[in-house]
Copies of this chain bind each other. A is one copy, B any other.
Amino acid sequence: MLLSTKGRYGLKASLELAFFYGKGPLNLKSISEKYNIPESYLEQLLSKLKKSGYIDTIRGKQGGYLLAKEPKDITVGMILRALEGEITSSDCLKNDKCGEENTCVTRIIFEDIEKSINNIIDNTTLEDMIHKRKQIYKEAH
């Protein structure tokens, strides 16, 4: 499994914020209920996204969360990495301790996989995803 619920939940929440971009803050409860995500858990995820600079918050009554940048300037990769750490195919790419960095063939295939994953997540923005959702919605109606 490449992605845990962290990345999944966080990406859904980010997308929800992207939808509301420019329309004021969304509070935690509304997101957690809509996507059926435990409130406290989601809070931790959004806190990470805030620290990474992708979302802003407004405290107090009428407060909530909002995207800190335009949806077109936030990629799926940014969100996933903030929540899950570097997205990697295999541990052997992280710790260069296998002693065969230069001759290990399995390493090569892991690198290929990783490149192709990164290629996708770094080239898809939240805006792209919103467009896609609209498309899907059209097709369904």
Contacts and interface: CB of A to CB of B under 8 A. Distances in A.
Interface size class of chain A, counting residues whose CB lies under 8 Å from the partner chain:
35 or more
A108 to B, nearest CB: 6
A105 B92 CA distance: 31
Interface of A: 1-3, 5, 7-8, 11-12, 15, 76, 88-92, 102-103, 105-106, 108-110, 112-113, 116-117, 119-121, 124, 129-130, 132-133, 136-137, 140
Contacts of A88: 1-2
Given A105-B136, A129-B105, A133-B103, A113 B2 contact: yes
B2 A89 contact: yes
- Which 6 pairs show the lowest CB-CB distances between chains A and B? A105-B133, A2-B2, A116-B116, A2-B89, A3-B90, A105-B129
